[in-house]
Copies of this chain bind each other. A is one copy, B any other.
């Protein structure tokens, strides 16, 4: 501890050793017990040990970087909390397991922190991680371990493990002409919330419906029950929409060598909840539906004639590419123009 202890409000990570900071965080990662059902050995050794009951492990990794994936202070005045960043880091990783039809078993977290980061912000991040796991319903999952380091910008890398419980993963490559194209969760809300954050409409003046859109951007709620249900129902292909409906749809279409044709009436229906943002910003909400990704909804294809599992609604159909149409995304037969998010494109 420092010789002249700072007040709790201004205590920064520079004043603590790595082990002191870890000692503050680890107790907050316990989810009502020492660790989740799948974690056999939690933090404290060189690696954690997690159950992989069917002898296989799903694994994915994602990183959020300050000023790229979030701003500490947005144009409209909203200050991103550690809780927001922790929640979002957990949510987007849990979504990757959901998109394979699996259930998450554990997260490991690597935090890079500038020395001036308030300790409270980091503690809040730990609380956001565990809150997302609990509230999104990842019941067997816990934070099994982690790593702390220093950098010039805040960066949060999370790796997630998951299980298929004996089933087959639902890949992007299995869609067939004639399948139903369906969506679980929302699309466009996180992008509408981002537009509000980037606007000059002060956060304090936002109405409840507008704040709800901001919350989808800062604390997305991927539909975690939908992925395993889709797998059980025989989904032929699936992915989560993290970079935009059209951009991610093109990836699924390319992997499956098919055309995904979106129904304009269904797209229109998804714009309706976005009017609290589109009205005051004078924007076309359809660009958020087509190009916005961070709701982490699921895009899946199902054989024709089956009843869609709970949470899914049809938004189009799968068609064969032809002489005049390459694998990709169309809207009522016309090639979609909007693109989603690319980390390196201008």
Q: Which of A224-252 contact B (CB under 8 A)?
A: 239-240
**Which among B21, B49, B50, B343 is the interface contact of A344 at CB below 8 angstroms?**
B21
A58 close to chain B: CB less than 8 A: yes
A155 close to chain B: CB less than 8 A: yes
**Which among B17, B44, B161, B169 is the interface contact of A59 at CB below 8 angstroms?**
B161
Binding-face segment, A143-151, A210-218, A264-272, A321-329 = A143-151
Is the pair A145, B51 in contact by a Cβ cutoff of 8 Å? Answer: no
Is the pair A61, B108 in contact by a Cβ cutoff of 8 Å? Answer: yes
Alpha-carbon distance A95/B46, docked complex (angstroms): 9
**Given the interface contacts A56-B40, A344-B16, does A149 sit within 8 Å of B63 by beta carbon?**
yes
A65 partner residues in chain B, CB cutoff 8 A? 112, 149-151, 155
Chain A residue total in the interface (Cβ 8 A): 72
A203 close to chain B: CB less than 8 A: no
A165 close to chain B: CB less than 8 A: no
A205 close to chain B: CB less than 8 A: no
**Which among B47, B150, B239 is the interface contact of A102 at CB below 8 angstroms?**
B47
Is the pair B50, A59 in contact by a Cβ cutoff of 8 Å? Answer: yes
| A345 nearest in chain B by CB position | B17
A131 close to chain B: CB less than 8 A: no
A31 close to chain B: CB less than 8 A: no
Is the pair B46, A343 in contact by a Cβ cutoff of 8 Å? Answer: no
Q: Please give the distance in Å from A144's CB to the nearest CB on chain B.
A: 6
Q: Please give the distance in Å from A209's CB to the nearest CB on chain B.
A: 31
**Given the interface contacts A46-B100, A62-B147, does A342 sit within 8 Å of B17 by beta carbon?**
yes
Is the pair B150, A153 in contact by a Cβ cutoff of 8 Å? Answer: no
A342 partner residues in chain B, CB cutoff 8 A? 17-19
Q: Please give the distance in Å from A231's CB to the nearest CB on chain B.
A: 13
Identify 9 residue pairs between A and B in the complex whose beta-carbon atoms are under 8 Å apart, listed by A's number. A13-B344, A14-B344, A44-B255, A46-B60, A46-B95, A47-B102, A49-B59, A55-B55, A65-B112
Known: A47-B160, A49-B58. 5 other contacts (CB 8 A): A18-B342, A45-B172, A47-B59, A47-B60, A47-B99
Which positions in A face B, CB cutoff 8 Å?
13-14, 16-19, 21, 40-41, 44-63, 65, 67-69, 95-97, 99-100, 102, 106, 108-110, 112, 115, 144-153, 155, 157, 159-162, 164, 169, 171-172, 239-240, 255, 342-345
